[in-house]
Amino acid sequence: MNHPEQIQQRIIELEVEHRDLDVVIEAVSKDLNHDELQLRRLKKRKLQLKDHITLLRMQMMPDVPA
pLDDT at 34 (0 to 100): 87
Rounded CA gap, 59 and 53, in Å? 10
Sign, CA dihedral 41-44-50-56, equals negative
Is the full-model pTM beyond 0.85? no
Task: Examine residue 50 and state whether it is found in any structural domain, yes or no.
Answer: yes
24: which residues sit within 8 A by CB, 6+ positions away? 42
Domain, as residue range, for 33: 4-60
Task: Examine residue 32 and state whether it is found in any structural domain, yes or no.
Answer: yes
What is the mean pLDDT of the segment spanning 39-62?
94
Tens of pLDDT, residue by residue over 4-24, are 899 999 999 999 999 999 999
Helices (H) and strands (E) in the chain, counts: 2, 0
> Domain count of the chain?
1
Task: Examine residue 27 and state whether it is found in any structural domain, yes or no.
Answer: yes
pLDDT at 61 (0 to 100): 84
Residue 65 has pLDDT above 90, yes or no: no
Task: Examine residue 42 and state whether it is found in any structural domain, yes or no.
Answer: yes
